[in-house]
Amino acid sequence: GGSAMAAVRDVEIDPEGTFKYILVRLQRPGGEEQRDIVRGTKAAEFHNHIFEKVNPEMEKLGYECKCLGGGKIDHNSKDKKIRVFGLSTGYGKADHSVTVEILKKVYTDYEITWSDDKK
């Protein structure tokens, strides 16, 4: 049912700093139900490190994962600002505008912007 998918958080990112992120699409095998989630952390040296952590977690819940691309997030919790930019060499550039919409669901009182800048 929808409950398991609802249990998956839209966003899991570090509370502060600049780090890599990926946009991941979850889908039930053979099902129509799908949604996109954002995952990012400073602990990941490469974008695929994030995917390698998310994928098994989601498979346990019965989802197929597809990485839609990546980039970087600059999270300034003091000023309540998030900037989405850059790209992933391995996965290509995520649609940052989609990422921003997902982030806005969680960080409702933040100023959230994106660009195709590399830095």
As annotated, the binding site includes 20
As annotated, the binding site for substrate includes 20
Cα 48 from Cα 54, distance rounded (Å): 10
Q: Is the C-alpha dihedral spanning 61, 67, 68, 74 positive or negative?
A: positive
Cα 14 from Cα 38, distance rounded (Å): 11
Q: Which residues are catalytic?
A: 47
